[in-house]
Amino acid sequence: MKVIHKINELKEIIKEQKGKSIGLVPTMGALHEGHGSLIKKSVEQNDFTIVSVFVNPVQFGINEDFDKYPRTLEKDAKLAEELGADVIFNPSVDEMYTDTQELTLVCPPYSAINKLCGKSRPGHFDGVATVVSKLFNITQCTRAYFGQKDAQQLFIIKKMVKDLNFNVEIVPCPIVREKDGLALSSRNTYLKDDARADALKLSKALNYAKELRKKGVNDKQMLCDSALKILEGTNVDYIEIVNPETFEDWQETDKRALMLIAAKIPPTDTRLIDNMEI
């Protein structure tokens, strides 16, 4: 496996793969088993797999954790190689963006971004859509793999691919959880002692809402309030229920419902997200 830092060098390697299927796993590094599941699926489904490791400054807001976001390239490369990846693409910020101040951005529809994570992180999804578009163009991938934990991101990327006619198949991959239910996240490394117990409240709240729905509870406010009680002790950003197919607000007559939670975990205010179809 090769670790490539330059776009032109990666493009030369891609030229050599003519006629082969290329899988792309876009990441910001600090790889865990969740990322590993994406890499495994790409290796199974494609002739050649590229794992991008790039902490993208354009998707971070002011006072977010860009500077302290975990960077573990050596460990990431070892895991990716063990799982069968062919290349890690690890560009510098200057390699990806000649000018972040006057950058052409890909801007998803306001209806898709002015809610949930986009509401509390203005500009975040412009940055995500822009870097993903660049990665699609650079790698010329056949398929790209995204985890369902970032449900809003996945919805936006699928819409972008459709609207902008990218010749890429988006492959959604299930959330990977630890035995106690905590959704895997690179930011879990920030959690210490009691903070981890508080982080578990996200999955507990989702599972409780799911059980209520099984018992016939379809009142949106009741479902959200019940989840909110379990989340006491965390700083809740949002609890929302949407239609998983349209990402519009869930109507109590809809058969399918996706509950999404974002919360900051004291004392470091580590921001975690989770979701579950209830």
Nearest to 204 by CA among 173, 146, 216, 196: 196
DSSP structure class, residue 252:
T
Dihedral sign, Cα of residue 114, residue 120, residue 180, residue 217: negative
Q: What angle do CA 61, 63, 67 make, to 5 degrees?
A: 90
User: What is the Cα–Cα distance from 259 to 212, expressed in whole angstroms?
Assistant: 12
Asked if residue 33 lies in contact with residue 176, where contact means CB atoms within 8 angstroms, the answer is yes
Partnered with residue 89 across adjacent β-strands are: 4, 52
Task: List CB contacts of 234: < 8 A, sequence separation 6 or more.
Answer: 198, 201, 202, 263, 264, 265, 266
35 is catalytic: yes
Q: Catalytic residue positions?
A: 35
